[in-house]
């Protein structure tokens, strides 16, 4: 297939105008390996749920699966992004957007495991964190600023002072005893949900001050799986801690689904 299709056919540039100019829609990103996706059902359910929130209608998950299948290479790994948006979205009358379409794009998959990264905490909350929205302005603004300051990315802290998530990833911690997922409003990431099913954990409020008591930390999303954090602000963390390999093994042991 071409690198981008809209509803199963090559997309015309003018059909992407609304997406570019209004930035209203949702998406999910899949890592496909030899035709297999971990958490495929969760990705499809996310698209259905988010379409209801943003457009008031369902998307047909069977149809989405069929469109994704067109983009999957016979062998090897690829990253597939599925974006749901309405090309008729109007800036002046967004309430009329009620006929979402499915854009499928493909790119090369990143090598895993990805190298450890350093992150800088910033005060920020995404609009409607529970939805994986295409509006990434705030997340990219903070990522850019963090990178200009010598970090790899930004880690968001909400208005209550609790650590929440990264711009395109969930975060988890290890305090020497337990894997801890933050108790905050975050995107229910598919990789995070799979890991919560596969590995013992607890959910607790985490503040930047608590990070000095952590032994390890990690980022998760479908593209990278489990990625170590080597530093948060001035706190150095063990990027080679054995718990990270245990989490990676737990994740890779999750049975995938054929697209």
Q: Which residues, 6+ apart, have CB-to-CB distance to 170 below 8 Å?
A: 181, 186, 187, 189, 191, 192, 219, 220, 221
CATH number at residue 36: 3.30.470.10
**Domain count for the chain:** 2
What per-residue confidence (pLDDT) applies to 2?
62
> Final residue of a domain: which of 108, 139, 163?
108
What per-residue confidence (pLDDT) applies to 3?
82
What per-residue confidence (pLDDT) applies to 1?
57
Taking the complete model, does pTM exceed 0.85, yes or no? Answer: yes
Q: Give yes or no: residues 56 and 122 share one domain.
A: no
Q: Give per-residue pLDDT as tens, 49-78.
A: 999 999 999 999 999 999 999 999 989 999
Q: Give yes or no: residues 212 and 89 share one domain.
A: no
Q: Give yes or no: residues 11 and 126 share one domain.
A: no
Q: Give yes or no: residues 31 and 124 share one domain.
A: no
Please identify every stretch of the chain with a pLDDT value under 50, giving residue numbers as ranges.
none
Q: Give yes or no: residues 8 and 126 share one domain.
A: no
What per-residue confidence (pLDDT) applies to 111?
87
Q: Quote the domain boundaries for residue 156.
A: 117-254
Q: Give yes or no: residues 230 and 126 share one domain.
A: yes
CATH number at residue 135: 3.20.10.10
Q: Give yes or no: residues 78 and 136 share one domain.
A: no
Q: Give yes or no: residues 145 and 188 share one domain.
A: yes
Q: Give yes or no: residues 26 and 62 share one domain.
A: yes
**Is residue 62 one of the residues assigned to a domain?**
yes
> Final residue of a domain: which of 88, 108, 128?
108
What per-residue confidence (pLDDT) applies to 33?
95
**Is residue 140 one of the residues assigned to a domain?**
yes
Q: Give yes or no: residues 92 and 143 share one domain.
A: no
**Is residue 259 one of the residues assigned to a domain?**
no
Chain centroid, CA 72 distance in Å: 19
Q: Give yes or no: residues 99 and 218 share one domain.
A: no
Q: Tell me the chain's radius of gyration from C-alpha atoms.
A: 19
Q: Give yes or no: residues 56 and 169 share one domain.
A: no
What per-residue confidence (pLDDT) applies to 74?
85
């Amino acid at each position: 297939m071409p690198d981008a299709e809209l509803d199963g056919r090559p997309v015309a540039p003018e059909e992407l105008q609304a997406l570019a100019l209004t930035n209203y829609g949702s998406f999910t990103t899949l890592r496909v390996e030899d035709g297999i996706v971990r958490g495929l059902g969760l990705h499809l359910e996310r698209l259905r749920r988010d379409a209801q929130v943003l457009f008031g209608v369902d998307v047909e998950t069977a149809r989405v699966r069929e469109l994704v299948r067109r983009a999957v290479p016979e062998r090897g790994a690829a990253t597939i992004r599925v974006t749901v948006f309405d090309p008729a979205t109007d800036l002046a009358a967004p309430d009329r957007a009620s006929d979402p379409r499915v854009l499928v794009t493909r790119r090369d998959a990143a090598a895993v495991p990805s190298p450890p990264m350093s992150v800088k905490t910033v005060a920020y909350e995404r609009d409607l964190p529970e939805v994986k929205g295409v509006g990434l302005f705030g997340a990219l603004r903070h990522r850019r600023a963090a990178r200009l300051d010598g970090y790899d990315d930004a880690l968001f802290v909400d208005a209550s002072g609790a650590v929440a998530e990264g711009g395109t990833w969930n975060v988890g911690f290890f305090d020497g005893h337990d894997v801890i997922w933050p108790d905050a409003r975050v995107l229910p990431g598919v990789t995070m949900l799979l890991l919560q099913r596969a590995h013992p954990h607890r959910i607790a409020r985490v503040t930047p001050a608590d990070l000095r008591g952590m032994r390890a930390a990690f980022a998760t999303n479908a593209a990278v799986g489990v990625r170590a954090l080597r530093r948060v602000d001035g706190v150095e963390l063990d990027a080679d801690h054995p718990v990270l390999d245990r989490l990676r093994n737990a994740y890779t042991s999750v049975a995938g689904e054929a697209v």
